[in-house]
């Protein structure tokens, strides 16, 4: 077993649980909506937040592969990876409410700053780590990754600050769309 495989087992477990949290939330929302007499409206905002978190998780999982030859097993790396992946889990856990009776759009408006804020801090940490490793810093200096990262950061800030459901919906659609476009490039 390589050092990357050893570390990635822990990392993969925590990120996998994060994905399961988002999918579990989707399932609970559908279940609640399908109950006879249910007045719960799923809406767009929380599902879009869930899609964004899932796509961001996949992006980070892919980025971990890029750094596979650099990460070495140490207490410091295990703590950093556990903290990082745990923050992703926390964000994923907050996407869907346990009690769906309050409505999903209202829930989104309550948690969006926390969820997207956690992910924004994780992005800054990731960029800081890339910048500190010369072999990774080269990837940051290219025009396309710079532009895509700037767009991501601007959209994340907008998602945390815009007012009104319509603007939130548009920004969340743009965040999800940005990831879909990046994956198709």
- Give tens-digit pLDDT for 121-161: 999 999 998 888 888 888 788 898 899 999 999 999 999 99
What is the distance between the alpha carbons of residues 91 and 157, in angstroms, rounded to a whole number? 16
For the entire predicted model, the pTM comes to 0.91
Which three-class secondary structure state does DSSP give residue 99? Answer: coil
pLDDT at 117: 98
What is the per-residue pLDDT for 87? 95
- Mean pLDDT (the chain) is 90
Choose among 57, 55, 31: nearest CA to 42.
31
| In contact, 120 and 156? CB cutoff 8 Å | yes
pLDDT in tens, 4-43: 778 778 888 889 999 999 999 999 999 998 888 888 888 8
The residue behind tokens 């319509």 is: 166
Q: Return all residues near 72 (Cβ < 8 A) that are at least 6 apart.
A: 3
Q: Is 35 left (phi over 0), alpha (psi -120 to 50) or beta?
A: beta
CB 15 within 8 A of CB 88: yes
């Amino acid at each position: 077993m390589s050092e990357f495989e050893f570390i990635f087992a822990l990392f993969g477990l925590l990120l996998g649980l994060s994905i399961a949290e988002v999918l579990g939330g989707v399932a609970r929302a559908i279940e609640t909506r399908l109950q006879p007499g249910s007045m719960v409206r799923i809406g767009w905002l929380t599902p879009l937040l869930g899609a964004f978190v899932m796509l961001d998780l996949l992006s980070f999982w892919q980025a971990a592969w890029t750094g596979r030859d650099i990460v070495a097993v140490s207490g410091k790396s295990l703590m950093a990876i556990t903290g990082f992946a745990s923050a992703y889990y926390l964000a994923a856990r907050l996407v869907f409410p346990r009690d769906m009776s309050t409505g999903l759009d209202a829930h989104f408006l309550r948690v969006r700053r926390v969820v997207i804020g956690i992910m924004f801090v994780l992005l800054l940490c990731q960029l800081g780590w890339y910048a500190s490793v010369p072999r990774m810093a080269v990837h940051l200096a290219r025009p396309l990754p710079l532009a895509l990262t700037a767009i991501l950061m601007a959209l994340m800030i907008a998602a945390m600050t815009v007012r009104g459901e319509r603007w939130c919906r548009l920004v969340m659609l743009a965040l999800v769309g940005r990831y879909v476009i990046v994956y198709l490039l």
